[in-house]
C-alpha cells in the first residue's frame, strides 16, 4: 500500500510529518529523513493494531511518498 506524507518545517527547525490516509499517524524529526523514518514506524504500529482484521500471514508493505514540503510563514 502506498501512503502520502506531508512534511512541515516548524519554527524550532524540526519537521512535522503526517500521513494523509491515516490522520492519526503524526510524528516529527530533526530532519525530513528522520521524520519519514518515524512516520513509517507510526504507520506500521497503526497497521499492526488493525492487523486483527486481516487474514493470518498477510504481509504489509509500506511505501511512503512525499506530497509536499511546507515552510513556516
pLDDT in tens, 9-67: 999 999 999 999 898 999 999 999 999 999 999 998 888 877 665 555 455 556 666 66
Residues 6+ apart with CB under 8 A from 17: 5, 6, 7, 8, 26, 27, 28, 29, 35, 36, 38, 39
**Domains assigned to the chain:** 2-68 (3.30.160.250)
How confident is the model at residue 70, as a pLDDT? 58
How confident is the model at residue 25, as a pLDDT? 94
Rounded to two decimals, the pTM is 0.71
Amino acid at each position: 500500500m502506498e501512503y502520502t506524507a506531508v512534511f512541515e518545517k516548524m519554527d524550532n527547525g524540526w519537521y512535522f510529518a503526517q500521513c494523509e490516509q491515516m490522520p492519526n499517524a503524526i510524528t516529527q524529526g530533526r530532519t525530513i529523513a528522520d521524520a519519514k523514518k518515524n512516520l513509517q514506524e507510526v504507520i506500521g504500529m497503526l497497521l499492526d493494531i488493525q492487523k486483527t482484521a486481516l487474514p493470518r500471514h498477510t504481509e504489509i508493505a509500506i511505501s511512503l511518498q512525499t506530497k509536499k514540503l511546507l515552510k513556516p510563514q
